[in-house]
Amino acid sequence: MGKIRDFLNGVRSELRRVAWPDRKLITKATISVIIFSLVVGVYLWVLDLAFTKLLSLIFALRGA
């Protein structure tokens, strides 16, 4: 039981040293992640459309 108490005291001590980000930084980071995800999603959507059209054209030319 003593080892668990020592461990939890160590955890508490380390958590006091953590420099927690403020709300403004978290908001900026969240918005950045959302925008980046949307950009990557649109990029992949455009690539998917392009490959779909290209493969449809190839299959149409081959008569499949």
* Residue 1, in any domain of the structure: no
**Tally of structural domains, the chain:** 1
* Residue 6, in any domain of the structure: no
* Residue 62, in any domain of the structure: yes
* Residue 14, in any domain of the structure: no
Q: Quick one: which H or E segment has residue 31?
A: helix 23-62
What is the percent of the chain where pLDDT is above 70?
A: 98
**Residues 20-29: what's their mean pLDDT?**
96
pLDDT band at 29 (very low <50, low <70, confident <90, very high): very high
CA atoms of 4 and 51, how far apart (whole Å): 57
pLDDT given for residue 64 in this prediction: 62
pLDDT higher than threshold 80 for residue 34: yes
Q: Which residue range forms the structural domain that includes residue 64?
A: 21-64
* Residue 16, in any domain of the structure: no
* Residue 32, in any domain of the structure: yes
pLDDT given for residue 1 in this prediction: 82
* Residue 10, in any domain of the structure: no
